Amino acid sequence: MANNTTVLHLRSEQKPLEHRSALTPETTKALLKAGYEVHVERSPKDPSRKRIYDDSEFESVGAKLVGDQTWTEAPRNHIIIGLKELEPENFPLIHTHIQFAHCYKGQGGWQEVLSRFPRGGGTLFDLEFLQLANGRRVAAFGYHAGFAGAALAVKTWRWQLVNPHERLPGVETFTQGRGYYLNEDEMLTQLRAELKEGIEKAGRQPKVFVMGAKGRCGRGAVKLLHEIGLDDSHVLKWDLEETTDNPGPYREIVESDIFVNCIYLSDPIKPFIDAETLASASRKLSVICDVSCDTTNPNNPIPVYTVNTTFTDPTVPVEVEGDLPLSVISIDHLPSLLPRESSEAFSHDLLPYLLELKDWRHNDVWVRAQKLFEDKVATLPANMRQLEVNGR
């Protein structure tokens, strides 16, 4: 652009039941004030993809509204920002993209996802790997992922007691058709009543095991459990101290009613549970919420399921011995159950780094992200990273 203005293009999300936003009206306002230009794609008309913020909220702070999914037509120097992965198309990507791409840890199909960037001359700044020098992520949805994951786990535990032969229905059935909660208060009010019903049915409070309890995600899970009335005597909190010199599997997990996995998987580890531990006569475990959701990772420490679940079909059954069921929740965008609070927290933390995009080469966070992208691209077969002159 002639005036060298940095343009951020907020794309609408394509994932069904994804209502979060990488930018909020408030962070957009701050970017505009700092001299950026912000284009915001209009929220999709499809209710299942409606952004939690109305278009008018962005327009009122000065953003330029553009058509849904018009990022493909944007000038090459516009920076495309979103949250969840793009649709599995094949055309090369010519822009710089800021998003979660889920292709750096050997996930299924990672080569096809990553190769689109070098083939088009584009760049990926993966939100999962925007990190400080100590490795801490600058912005993450972990807290609200743990909060929402623990909520669905408790909801599933109660559902199994009241409806023993049915799977938990889609979230739209208990969110007035929306597919998400308007706010935390709405969720907590509903969940407190359901926990009470479950306790009356079971004759006791559930015991919940939270793995990775000291991280963002684990703290969110523990906070939810405390908010609905479970005290520490019913919440077993494990982290590195309990596992470093004590490799799994762990009987403490199968002897709990609910297991909420909140670890960040970076290296191969032994499974937390396996077929042998699940066959134990002391098993009480009936609900697993794998918030970490490393479903296709070959090192997944919960190797009892193979598919992601969704908000429309939240659980998948695991074949186990005995009459006690076992359900797994493996939804990879749990924070969208609370889209407004989770978007506000994430975008607020990301904002200081977005404000550095004009001169990103002078910011260590962006420089590290660029280097990581280049290193990952170098692991692709040569034919998958060759620039396609004709683009898409």
Q: How far is CA 328 from CA 21, 96, 302, in A?
A: 27, 36, 10
9 is catalytic: no
Is 325 exposed, middle or buried (CB count within 10 Å of its CB: 0-12, 13-18, 19+)? middle
Are 6 and 358 in contact by the 8 Å Cβ rule? The answer is: yes
Q: Are strands 327-329 and 315-317 parallel, antiparallel or unpaired?
A: antiparallel
Query: Is 95 part of the annotated catalytic residue set?
Result: no
- Dihedral, 331, 333, 335, 336 alpha carbons, nearest 10: -110
Cα angle for residues 154, 157, 158 (degrees, 5° grid): 90
Q: Rounded to whole angstroms, how far apart are CA atoms 261 and 290? A: 5
228: left (phi over 0), alpha (psi -120 to 50) or beta: alpha
Task: Spot the catalytic one: 50, 95, 102, 207.
Answer: 102
Q: Report how far residue 339's alpha carbon sits from residue 91's, in angstroms, rounded to the nearest whole number.
A: 30
Which residues contact residue 373 at a Cβ distance below 8 angstroms, ignoring those fewer than 6 apart?
117, 123, 124, 125, 126
First to last CA, the chain: 22
Is the bond into 249 cis (omega within 30 degrees of 0)? yes
209: left (phi over 0), alpha (psi -120 to 50) or beta: beta
Q: Is 81 within 8 Å of 6 (Cβ atoms)?
A: no
Which residues touch 345 (CB under 8 Å, ≥6 apart)? 141, 143, 144
Which position among 19, 84, 237, 376 bears the catalytic label?
A: 84
> What six digits make up the tokens of 299?
């090192």
With beta carbons less than 8 A apart as the criterion, state whether 253 and 237 touch: no
Q: Please give the positions annotated as active site.
A: 84, 102
